Structure 1
Amino acid sequence: MLDDRSRTLLKTLVERYIADGQPVGSRTLSKASGLELSPATIRNVMSDLEELGLIASPHTSAGRVPTARGYRLFVDTMLTARPLEWGQLAADGTAAPLQPDQPQRVIAQAANLLSSLSSFVGVVTAPRKPSVFHHLEFLRLGERRVLVILVAPDGDVQNRVIFTPRDHSQTELLEASNHLNAHYAGQSIEAVRERIKHEIDALRTEIAGLMQAAVQVGTEALAETQEQVVVSGERNLLGVQDFGQDLGSLRKMFSLFEQKTELMRLLDTSSRAEGVRIFIGGESRVVPFEELSVVSAPYEVDGQVVGTLGVIGPTRMAYDRMIQIVDITSRLVSNALNQR
């Protein structure tokens, strides 16, 4: 626990460092904090804050900079982000509101909007489709080769070839298709999997095997269509003072944006929380960079969370503004997708 004097000085130090990007000395703190303290007293408080791991002293300067732990305390207990309306956020005219259109276009627009407003990297996951099949067919392609055709409620069609333990006639395949469509159509893949586990003893062996194969195909097809994340503004990191000259860090960061798998894991974690989440300096263990922070929020369609969006930038970011940008963009995406 910090006393009021220590909290005020830490808050002032973080705000000055975010604004200027330069280590903050005791003289600057004395003027900016409004506290009538001697330089010696301020130095003592700074020393205490450093022992607590909240600030650090770069070798090249007598000033201090916040650590990830210091940023976390600042964000959790000292930051006030007032809600903004769209007109206030985009008053400079650099960003256009999202236009209800194809979901993929809305997602691309949102990623560009996040990047433009933040001057960092914007990331958005594509809306998750419900894991429900409307219709299924098995077609014999040859000996032990079967084509599985899955039709989703929105008309999306997924085709997969499976190899069966034994050959099936088209009559057997038709029987299995009819059984699945009659008893399981309209249910989620997860629900079908659970039902099959309990009903497998009552089903004929060949039908049970085909149904299990169909569920596996549906799961794989769903995973492929959902693992989509749109990234915009990666090059903005080249202009960030904090690591613009660190080519090693930049290479690792760009590799992260190219692979996208880790970003999907991070944003999936964020989708299970309400409102805006902030990961500072590798806290997520998914984006393991002490130099990066992530501000994210889920978005909804018909009251259900279907995706996540966020801003990735340096730990030295204006968190109050990033929270506002992410929050309002999540609402804009939700509104645009709900108008379709």
Structure 2
Amino acid sequence: MNDRSREIFRLVVDAYVETGEPVGSRTLSRRLGMDLSPATIRNVMADLEDMGLLFARHTSAGRLPTDMGLRLYVNGLLEHGNLSKDEQARIKLQCAAGGRSLPQLLEETTGMLSGLSQCAGLVFAPKLSEPLKHIEFVSLGPGRALVVLISDSGAVENRVVDLPLGLPPSALVEASNYLSARLIGRTLEEAIVEIGIELKEHQLLLDELSRKVVELGLASWAQDMNGNPGGALIVRGQAQLLEDINALEDLERVRHLFSALEKKESLVRLLELTKTAEGVQIFIGAENELFAQAGCSVVMAPYKNSRQQVVGAIGVIGPTRIDYARIIPMVDYTAKILGRMIG
């Protein structure tokens, strides 16, 4: 694009972000600092449409940016704004732990981010990625047991495993003692590697029933980490999305969005992608299969612990016309402050 086309394209997107409405040539001619006629502007907009950057809902209507156009805008034309001191102070205050548990901290921070951004807030925290200090099997009756895992910070994770019928209480005690000796001071991932080697090399000094308990627990944890990503997923502020029906075009799109938000397994996979990347990640409209039908954008950033390990991701979801210039630095700043707070 030449300078003239770039400026016209930028103004179309700026107007769309501001109003959610199509932009016509006469509106642009008033906003442009150049002396261009509406006819000239229409020709430029037609060229931009041929390039796949703009589209018109109706023949006689103004233009809107496509998902590809928004991507170009975000990657190459967007100038990030700065958070106000009040916004920075609010984020710092909200993230200050103040005796709250980690789940409370994440939930309240997500609600705060939703309020500041006027979007729905999302946060994902993997299951117990920190060292553990206790594990215990608690019988729930024939064929079932509750596994209680407690981390060094006091975070608790419970899960239910299926066991062979007729298993004696002594097998649960022996399995608990065996696993505790290998889990204490290690993360779940680290312990699973060691236990897996012992299982493979038949080095477990356990009776057959206790060994079976360990194998079932190991299979459950490995599945969570490899096949079905586990973790705490919190979504707050969905009602914010109902405030902007025009930007989402119609209630049908809102329905698709709420349906997508309920599919937490797919959403966790999206957040897992964020965890493996550096900095803020932006998924726009059809770029992301999960929200293609809803016409939404997701802005996410990973947060790290004191060892600079990525332990989760936080961000927002909203219409594709969200204020990227304001929300991108907001999500980035929140992720960094949250990482400092969790240590």
The CA deviation string for residues 28-85 of structure 1, in whole angstroms up to 9 with x for no partner, is 2233232233433322221111111100122164321111111111111001114435
Could you tell me which residue of structure 1 aligns to residue 93 of structure 2? Answer: 97
Residue 127 and residue 332 in structure 1: after superposition, are their counterparts in 2 closer, same or farther (change >3 A)? Answer: farther
**How far, CA to CA, are the matches of 2:169 and 2:237 in structure 1?**
54
Q: Is the 8 Å Cα contact of residues 128 and 307 (structure 1) preserved in structure 2?
A: no
Residue 333 and residue 179 in structure 1: after superposition, are their counterparts in 2 closer, same or farther (change >3 A)? Answer: closer
**How far, CA to CA, are the matches of 1:64 and 1:214 in structure 2?**
56
**How far, CA to CA, are the matches of 1:146 and 1:57 in structure 2?**
59
Corresponding residue to 1:322 among 314, 319, 327: 327
- Please say if 1:264 is aligned against 2:268: yes
Could you tell me which residue of structure 1 aligns to residue 284 of structure 2? Answer: 280
181-190 or 97-106: bigger deviation: 181-190
What amino acid is the match of 1:246?
Answer: D
The CA deviation string for residues 178-198 of structure 1, in whole angstroms up to 9 with x for no partner, is 554445543333334433444
What amino acid is the match of 2:118?
Answer: S
Deviation at 1:112, TM superposition (A): 1.8
Could you tell me which residue of structure 1 aligns to residue 299 of structure 2? Answer: 295
Residue 123 and residue 22 in structure 1: after superposition, are their counterparts in 2 closer, same or farther (change >3 A)? Answer: same
Query: Equivalences for 1:139-158 in 2 at 5 Å?
Result: 150-155=149-154, 156=156, 158=158
**Percent of aligned positions that are identical:** 37
The CA deviation string for residues 92-126 of structure 1, in whole angstroms up to 9 with x for no partner, is x8x88313132222222222222211222112224
Could you tell me which residue of structure 2 aligns to residue 214 of structure 1? Answer: 217
What amino acid is the match of 2:104?
Answer: R
TM-score calculated relative to the size of structure 1:
0.81
Q: Is the 8 Å Cα contact of residues 245 and 251 (structure 2) preserved in structure 1?
A: no
Q: Is the 8 Å Cα contact of residues 122 and 236 (structure 2) preserved in structure 1?
A: yes
**How far, CA to CA, are the matches of 1:257 and 1:325 in structure 2?**
22
Query: Equivalences for 1:56-135 in 2 at 5 Å?
Result: 56-59=55-58, 61-84=60-83, 86-87=85-86, 89=87, 97-98=93-94, 99-101=96-98, 102=100, 103-126=102-125, 128-130=127-129, 132-135=131-134
Deviation at 1:11, TM superposition (A): 0.9
Deviation at 1:294, TM superposition (A): 1.0
Deviation at 1:203, TM superposition (A): 2.5
Residue 320 and residue 142 in structure 1: after superposition, are their counterparts in 2 closer, same or farther (change >3 A)? Answer: closer
Could you tell me which residue of structure 1 aligns to residue 242 of structure 2? Answer: 238
**How far, CA to CA, are the matches of 1:236 and 1:137 in structure 2?**
42
**How far, CA to CA, are the matches of 1:83 and 1:195 in structure 2?**
47
| Paired residue total | 333
**How far, CA to CA, are the matches of 2:234 and 2:303 in structure 1?**
15
**How far, CA to CA, are the matches of 1:45 and 1:17 in structure 2?**
17
Gaps of 5+ in 2: none
Residue 143 and residue 308 in structure 1: after superposition, are their counterparts in 2 closer, same or farther (change >3 A)? Answer: closer
**How far, CA to CA, are the matches of 2:180 and 2:5 in structure 1?**
67
161-170 or 278-287: bigger deviation: 161-170
**How far, CA to CA, are the matches of 1:4 and 1:311 in structure 2?**
33
TM-score calculated relative to the size of structure 2:
0.81
The CA deviation string for residues 157-201 of structure 1, in whole angstroms up to 9 with x for no partner, is 64645424996683x766655554445543333334433444333
**How far, CA to CA, are the matches of 1:236 and 1:111 in structure 2?**
13
Residue 142 and residue 72 in structure 1: after superposition, are their counterparts in 2 closer, same or farther (change >3 A)? Answer: closer
The CA deviation string for residues 196-233 of structure 1, in whole angstroms up to 9 with x for no partner, is 44433343682654432232344578899953222222
Query: Equivalences for 1:220-231 in 2 at 5 Å?
Result: 226-231=230-235
- Please say if 1:335 is aligned against 2:334: no
Deviation at 1:315, TM superposition (A): 0.9
What amino acid is the match of 2:49?
Answer: E
Q: Is the 8 Å Cα contact of residues 243 and 250 (structure 1) preserved in structure 2?
A: no
**How far, CA to CA, are the matches of 1:15 and 1:117 in structure 2?**
20
The CA deviation string for residues 223-275 of structure 1, in whole angstroms up to 9 with x for no partner, is 99953222222112222142566222222212223343332222221122221
**How far, CA to CA, are the matches of 1:250 and 1:39 in structure 2?**
35
Corresponding residue to 2:311 among 291, 306, 309: 306
Could you tell me which residue of structure 2 aligns to residue 9 of structure 1? Answer: 8
Residue 192 and residue 61 in structure 1: after superposition, are their counterparts in 2 closer, same or farther (change >3 A)? Answer: same
Residue 44 and residue 184 in structure 1: after superposition, are their counterparts in 2 closer, same or farther (change >3 A)? Answer: same
